[in-house]
Copies of this chain bind each other. A is one copy, B any other.
Amino acid sequence: MTLPAEMDALLLTGDGYAAPSPSHLEAMEPYVAAGRIGVPSPAATQLLIKVSLASINPSDVMFIKGMYGQPRAQGQPAGFEGVGTVVATGDDPRAQWFAGKRVAFATGLTNWGSWAQYAVAEAAACIPLMDGLRDEDAAAMIVNPLTAIAMFGIVKDDGAKAFILTAGASQLCKLIIGLAKEEGYRPIAIVRRDDQIAPLTALGAAHVLNAEAADYKASLKQVLKDEQPRIFLDAVTGPLATAIFDAMPKRARWIIYGRLDAEPAVLRRPDHLIFMQKSIEGFWLTDWMRRNPEGRKQAVLDAQKRFIDGRWKTDVTAIVPLAEAMRRVPGELAKPNGKVFIKP
């Protein structure tokens, strides 16, 4: 197969980090630009992938805005995740094994993102795909599904049946709620719209609380009292998360994996850490995979089976052609409840 010298891509306009700003994407222009760039060559342990479909995760938005915990490299393509076909590999046998295969991939630390016609990923961050998996599921196969399995594993290890989720209507939380329902756990989902209550309840949430509702504070208190959750999986931080953590019972663990609220959280109750053995920690999939190679392998198989047999399904808001991405992505992302993809 002959590769072109150049390709279309959405290129980062910023470098390094930027000060916190709201987590929604108000426009593409300040952060990425449509452009042409040379098709990269994979290093020894890497793969060059012809991208079929690239996903847009909340972490991508945080990253292009300079608010994700990894520095941007100006002029490189954005996009953490996608699905495609391996068209070239490095010399390492672990990379060569993937030649010609259809893979889900995470670009992680390669600086060659998925919002482009071609992407580079470490072979270790690629998953060979089973037949029968839709592109829409495969393109969102790593970040959300593995995070869901890993974080629900934390809930199971902790023991208590009830647990709390902020950003409860996100694709990630829907996956977690599905897992929890199957195993008899009781997710308490915090959302911001009443129309999210019915679908999440149908999926398996034991309680869905609208943080904008007038009776939210009282409902939260009652639910925490009845359910005694211990794990709090938080994508938000800020005052919303602090209030939940402060109201949680003994031995509560606040596990932060995202920061949708730019406002900082204030630790008003250090006495709860001391006398109630509460704690605060983070979750990062990359670190979890590094520390749990076996768990990762299991999760990869489990996630594919769930998508193929229909227990999981990626809700699709839109598949936007790369050429229309600059104009359409912010508007599509603003729609609730589904995922937005870029098609090169």
- Chain A residues close to B by CB (< 8 Å): 67-70, 237, 256-259, 264-268, 270-284, 287
Pair A69/B271 contact, Cβ less than 8 Å: yes
* B residues near A277, Cβ cutoff 8 Å: 281-282, 284, 287
Task: Given contacts A69-B271, A273-B281, A275-B287, list 10 more A-B pairs with CB under 8 A.
Answer: A256-B270, A256-B274, A259-B271, A259-B274, A265-B267, A273-B280, A274-B284, A275-B282, A278-B281, A279-B280
Q: Which 9 A-B pairs have the closest CB atoms?
A: A273-B282, A69-B275, A274-B282, A69-B271, A279-B281, A280-B280, A265-B267, A237-B270, A256-B270
Pair A68/B271 contact, Cβ less than 8 Å: yes
Q: List 26 A-B contacts (CB under 8 A).
A: A69-B272, A69-B276, A256-B274, A257-B274, A258-B274, A259-B270, A259-B274, A264-B266, A264-B268, A264-B270, A265-B267, A266-B266, A270-B282, A275-B282, A275-B284, A275-B287, A276-B282, A277-B281, A277-B282, A277-B284, A278-B281, A278-B282, A279-B279, A279-B281, A279-B282, A280-B280
* B residues near A282, Cβ cutoff 8 Å: 270, 272-279
How far apart are A254's CB and chain B's nearest CB, in angstroms? 9
Kindly identify which residue among B237, B257, B264, B275 contacts A70, using a CB–CB cutoff of 8 Å. B275
Pair A267/B270 contact, Cβ less than 8 Å: no
Q: How many copies does the complex hold?
A: 2
* B residues near A278, Cβ cutoff 8 Å: 281-282
Rounded to whole angstroms, the CA-CA distance of A67 and B274 in the bound complex is: 12
Rounded to whole angstroms, the CA-CA distance of A13 and B194 in the bound complex is: 48
| Known interface pairs A266-B265, A267-B267, A279-B279; A256-B273 also in contact (CB < 8 Å) | yes
Rounded to whole angstroms, the CA-CA distance of A226 and B182 in the bound complex is: 50
Rounded to whole angstroms, the CA-CA distance of A266 and B268 in the bound complex is: 9
* B residues near A271, Cβ cutoff 8 Å: 67-69, 259
Interface centre among A67, A70, A282 (most CB of B within 10 A): A282
How far apart are A157's CB and chain B's nearest CB, in angstroms? 16
* B residues near A68, Cβ cutoff 8 Å: 271
* B residues near A70, Cβ cutoff 8 Å: 275
